[in-house]
Structure formats: structure tokens, C-alpha cells
């Protein structure tokens, strides 16, 4: 039984995240999407809201569960008895940060490995910050986020 953790801020979840969740859920028997609670980043959605949005977009994925975590990712991975971490790579610009994160996590807990999935090309430029910026100017975000959460994002800027 292989368990994976896909961690992130998910503020908000995008079609790029959903693409990684769908594909990672095929690699693991169980996939936990871990929402970081205390990020230094100023969040648009509270962590409860982010968890709720993720639950909504993954409701038809039986082996995917949504959990929040505070503190170090390696500690969360240990608590969950996870076999691996999953991170998406959109472009070479992600690589520097991601390799640093993976090496640091592996140094802190050699039992935890990181599996990288390349984001599908059509979502390779999508990010939560880009979605927030477009929505803040009243732009069309329908190509970037799951339909069932689009209105929640629009409402944040009303």
C-alpha cells in the first residue's frame, strides 16, 4: 500500500494542481493533499476555505483525502506514514526551488523521497498568484481554475 503526499498552499487550487492530483492519485494507493496552515504568504483564502475548495474539486476521487498540516513537511509525512512526496514542475524556473526543497526534506528524513511530475503543457504557466491577480482585476479565470470554485474566487474580490 503506497501512500503519497502532495503538499502546497493551494490559494486557490488551480487546474494545474488538479492535473497533478489526478495523475499522482494513479501512482499511489492513497494520496493525501496537504494544505500548509501557517504559510508566511498572505493568503486570499483561509486554510479552512482552501481545504473545503480542495474537497469539492476532488469529491469524485476515492483515494484522495485532504488534510491540513502545520510545521515541517517531513514531520507531517512521518505522522502520515507516507512513502513519498509529490511536487509538480511547470518549467525550469521551478526546478531550483524544488530541488532545494527535495534535498532539504531528504536530509531531514532520508525515508522521504520526492517524486516530481511535470505539469501538463496546457497548465504549465498557471499559478495561484496569477489567478489571484487576474481575478483582482475582474478578468476571466475560467481557463485556469475548476469551474466549481470559480465563483468563490470572484466573490473574494467583490
117 forms part of the interface with ligand PNS (CB under 6 A): no
Tell me whether residue 17 is one of the annotated catalytic residues.
yes
Instruction: Identify residues 28-57 at the interface with ligand PNS (CB under 6 A).
Output: 36
Q: How many of the chain's residues bind ligand PNS (CB under 6 A)?
A: 8
Looking at the Cβ atoms of 104 and 118, the one nearer to ligand PNS is 104
Examine residue 104 and tell whether it contacts ligand PNS (CB under 6 A).
yes
Smaller CB separation from ligand PNS, 101 or 117: 101
User: Is residue 13 within 8 Å of 50, Cβ to Cβ?
Assistant: yes
Distance (Å, rounded) from C-alpha 11 to C-alpha 17? 11
Of 7 and 12, CB closest to ligand PNS: 7
Question: Which residues have C-beta within 8 Å of that of residue 90, sequence separation ≥ 6?
Answer: 16, 118, 119, 123, 124, 125, 126, 127
Please identify which residue in 73, 82, 131, 153 interacts with ligand PNS, judged by CB under 6 A.
73
For residue 72, state whether it binds ligand PNS (rule: CB under 6 A): yes
* Of 8, 12, 16, 88, the one binding ligand PNS by CB under 6 A: 8
Annotated catalytic residue 128: yes
CA distance 54 to 63: 14
Per-residue 3-state assignment (H helix, E strand, C coil) for 75-104: HHHHHCCCCEEEEEECCHHHHHHHHHHHHH
Catalytic residue chosen out of the listed positions 9, 17, 25, 132? 17
Rounded to whole angstroms, how far apart are CA atoms 62 and 26?
11
Alpha-carbon gap, residue 38 to 104, rounded angstroms: 19
Q: Which residues bind to ligand PNS, rule: CB under 6 A?
A: 7-9, 36, 72-73, 101, 104
Residues tagged active-site: 17, 41, 90, 128
Amino acid at each position: 500500500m503506497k501512500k503519497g503526499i502532495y503538499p502546497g498552499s493551494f490559494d486557490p487550487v488551480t487546474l494545474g494542481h488538479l492535473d497533478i492530483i489526478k495523475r499522482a492519485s494513479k501512482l499511489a494507493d492513497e494520496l493525501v493533499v496537504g494544505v500548509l496552515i501557517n504559510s508566511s504568504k498572505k493568503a486570499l483564502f483561509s486554510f479552512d476555505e482552501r481545504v473545503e475548495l480542495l474537497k469539492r474539486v476532488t469529491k469524485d476521487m476515492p483515494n484522495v483525502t485532504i488534510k491540513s498540516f502545520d510545521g515541517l513537511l517531513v514531520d507531517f509525512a512521518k505522522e502520515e506514514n507516507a512513502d513519498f512526496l509529490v511536487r509538480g514542475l511547470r518549467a525550469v524556473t521551478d526546478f531550483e526551488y524544488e530541488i532545494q526543497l527535495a534535498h532539504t526534506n531528504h536530509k531531514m528524513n532520508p525515508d522521504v523521497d520526492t517524486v516530481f511530475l511535470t505539469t501538463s503543457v496546457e497548465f504549465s504557466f498557471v499559478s495561484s498568484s496569477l489567478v489571484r491577480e487576474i481575478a483582482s482585476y475582474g478578468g476571466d479565470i475560467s481557463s485556469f481554475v475548476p469551474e466549481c470554485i470559480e465563483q468563490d474566487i470572484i466573490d473574494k474580490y467583490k
